[in-house]
Structures are given as structure tokens and as C-alpha cells.
Amino acid sequence: MPPLSSIRPVIRASARNRLGGRPPTTLPKKLRVPMSAYVVDCAVYVDGKRLDGRWAHDAAIEEVRRRDEGFVWIGLHEPSDEQINGIAETFGLHELAVEDAVNAHQRPKLERYDDTLFMVLKTVCYVGHAEPTTAHELVETGEVMVFVGRDFVITVRHGRHSGLRDVRHKLEADPEQLALGPASVLHAIADHVVDSYLEVTEAIEDDIDEMEAEVFTPRSTMDAEQIYVMKREVLELRRAVMPLVAPMHKLTEGFSSLVPHEVRSYFRNVDDHLSTVAERVAGFNEILTTLVDAMLARISMRQNNDMRKITAYAGLISVPTMIAGIYGMNFDVMPELHWNFGYPMVIVSIGLICGLLYRNFRRNGWL
């Protein structure tokens, strides 16, 4: 039998003959993910109006720069490193900002990289439930990252509820606002996120009012654990709202030339709404702390009442126990031991003493 090394060239030659002299095609190691899998939308806007057609990100920015007007808005949903690298190279995005956009779980912030703004916003969604006293999750969070340049806006979303389709449609229905440039898109996204904060805080306020009424209801079955669940959800909302206050102030004070004066006035309105939300969240935390203290005080009072009742009944039982213990001794010489009326006298004495003790306990509120 010939060696294996002499057979391999013959196999390769026969394969080339079957393919017309061409070597066999090798399969790719990794299939490229189509852009539609993570690019939600890519559009070109000129004078506040969307140009017709479907655009790839490189063709879109070439068209804008050829016209020297308008901007590109690209929406991405949870892209990976490989998927966002091409867009990052085309638009010159900073690698640190790109890393934050891919990894998510970032704190709300506003950063400036050369001629690009990078903003992170936490989105929140109120989770519906039957009763706030039995719910284990009330607030669900997501993230929106926004890259703003002179002629482009790139949004990266993380989470199921962080969609921006309605924001895009609302802006496209208002060409005058959209004509203000990429900063108008950033304002619309920030306004949408802060409005969702207002909706969530109103829903949580209703839950806290219901929980407060339950805590102070007589014979309430409210558990302190549910108050801690609510405090945890309010803390989740606080982590989304409070860090955004400083970045929003920057946008109203001319932090970057990418945000023109006309758009800055709109950001002031968003900043006012955000301040309202921050005040509400701080108030929620104080109310829930008060409810926890009230619940603990109520539990302590209930335990004290139980202990007083137990003590009172123990005092009542101790009287016949003491007398029975004394007259149960085996002594021949004891007062009234052989008297005919001794037993009735002991029973009457026990009844009188127990009756007096019971009246005193009832008068003092122990029973």
C-alpha cells in the first residue's frame, strides 16, 4: 500500500479536475451578521425632511457631505463590537465611547470627544401588577446612548422598552424642529426619556399612597418586606434620575457648540421636568423611610400588647396556683385544715382576688 503522503497530491489533483482546474472553495470561518439585524433605521434629513430610499451608513454620510447640508440619523439596537466597528470608523467615534455603548450598564453622563458629544441616558418602564403590596418588581430599566456630531446622530439602545420609533415619527412630522440639526434629535430623546420618568413617578406615587393607607389600616396584613421592595425600586429610579441632573445643566449652559442656542432653550424645559422628577424621587424615599419606621413601631406596639396580656393572665393564674400549692402541703397542723367551711372559703378567696386583679388589668388596658 503506497504511503499516505503520496496519495494526497492525487486527491487534490482530482478535485481540481472536477472543479475545472479551480481549487475547492473553503467555507468562511464566521458568517457576517446582516446590518439589518442591529441597524433599526438609517435616514438622511435635509431641511428637516427625510430623503427617500434606504441608505447604508457610509452612503448616507457621503450624501450629506456631498450636499454640505443635513445630517444622518442611525439607530442601533444592542450591537456587538464587530457590528459597530464599521460605523465607528466611518464616523470617527472615540473608542472609549464605543466601548461604553457596546457594554451598556453605564451611569448617565455627558462627555465630549473632540467634535463629538456622547450622552448616556437611563430609560425606565413601569411594570404593571395587581397589588403594590405583592409585587416584586415595579421599575424596569434600559439605556440609550447618543453620539452627536456636526452632521450625524447615532443612537444605541439597550433594553426591550427603550424604542425610539415614536420619537423619530414625531420629529419627522415637525420638519421645522428637525431642521435645527442633530441637537434637535438629542433634545427629543432626552425629552422622551424624562417624560417617561414623570409617568413612572406618578404610578409609583399612587402605589405609595395605597401602601401608606394599608400600613395605617387596623388589623392590616401589610408586610415590612414589601416596603423594602418599594424602596429598592425607588432607588433604581433614583440611579437613573439623579446622575442626569448635572449633564442636563451642561446642555442648557452651552457645554458644546454642537448644541445651538435655539435648542438650548428647549433643554431648559427638559431640565425643569427633570428637577420635578428628582424632587418627587427624594420625597418618595423620605415617605418610605417613614413608613418603615411606622411599621416597625406598630410591630413593637403589637408585641408589647401581647406581652401585657400574657403577663396579666399569668398574674391571674398565679393566685389559685399559689393557694393550691400552699394547701397541697402534707402537714397535719395547718390553719382551717379540718374546718367544714375551709374549702368554700378558699374558693371564694380565689374568686375575689382574681376578680379584683382582672378589673385592675382591664382598667389599665392590659386586657
Give pLDDT tens digits for 150-199.
Answer: 999 999 999 887 789 899 999 999 999 999 999 999 999 999 999 999 99
How high is the pLDDT of residue 62? 93
Handedness of CA 249, 255, 260, 261 (dihedral sign): positive
Residue 142 backbone zone (phi > 0: left; psi -120 to 50: alpha; other: beta) = beta
**What's phi and psi for 143, nearest 5 deg?**
-145, 150
Average pLDDT over residues 263-274: 92
Handedness of CA 256, 260, 261, 264 (dihedral sign): negative
What confidence tier does 7 reach under pLDDT thresholds 50, 70, 90?
very low
Tell the CATH superfamily of the 35-299 domain: CorA soluble domain-like (3.30.460.20)
Model pLDDT, residue 129:
62
Element at 209 (helix H, strand E): helix 182-215
The C-alpha atoms of residue 61 and residue 362 are separated, in whole angstroms, by 86
Which has the higher per-residue pLDDT, 133 or 238?
Answer: 238
* pLDDT number for residue 305: 75
Mean pLDDT of 251-260: 87
- If you average pLDDT over residues 343-357, what whole number do you get? 80
State the Cα–Cα distance between residues 329 and 193, nearest whole angstrom. 84
Write down the domain spans for the chain. 35-299, 308-363
Does residue 142 surpass a pLDDT of 80?
yes
205-214, 281-290, 304-313: least confidently modelled range:
304-313
Mean pLDDT of the chain: 81
Over range 299-327, report the average pLDDT.
77
What are the start-end ranges of the H helices in 38-164?
A: 57-67, 81-91, 95-103
Displacement of CA 39 from its chain's centroid (Å): 25
Percent of the chain surpassing pLDDT 90: 36
pLDDT at res. 182: 94
Q: Is the per-residue pLDDT at 332 higher than 80?
A: no
Residue 352 pLDDT > 90: no
Q: What is the pLDDT of residue 16?
A: 40
Mean pLDDT for the stretch of residues 140-145: 90
- Predicted confidence at residue 81, as pLDDT, reads 86
| Burial class for 238, CB neighbours closer than 10 Å (0-12, 13-18, 19+) | middle
Collapsing DSSP states into helix, strand and coil, what is residue 42?
strand
| CATH number belonging to domain 308-363 | 1.20.58.340
More confidently predicted of 134 and 288: 288
Residue pLDDT, tens place only, 99-141 = 999 988 889 999 999 889 999 999 998 886 655 555 566 788 8
Dump pLDDT digits (tens) for 25-47: 333 333 344 444 568 889 999 99
- 44 vs 355 pLDDT, higher one: 44
Segments in 4-124 forming alpha helices (H):
4-18, 57-67, 81-91, 95-103
Least confident of 10-24, 54-68, 227-241, 344-358: 10-24
Q: What are 181-184's contacts with CB under 8 Å, separation 24+?
A: 181/71, 181/260, 181/263, 182/71, 182/73, 182/148, 182/149, 182/150, 182/151, 182/152, 182/153, 182/258, 183/148, 183/258, 183/259, 183/260, 183/263, 184/263, 184/266
User: Which amino acid, 69?
Assistant: E
What mean pLDDT do residues 47-69 have? 90
Max mean pLDDT among 12-21, 123-132, 234-243, 342-351 falls in: 234-243
Q: What is the pLDDT of residue 186?
A: 95
Confidence (pLDDT) at 310? 81
Say if 35-299 and 308-363 have the same CATH topology.
no
CA distance 358 to 334: 29
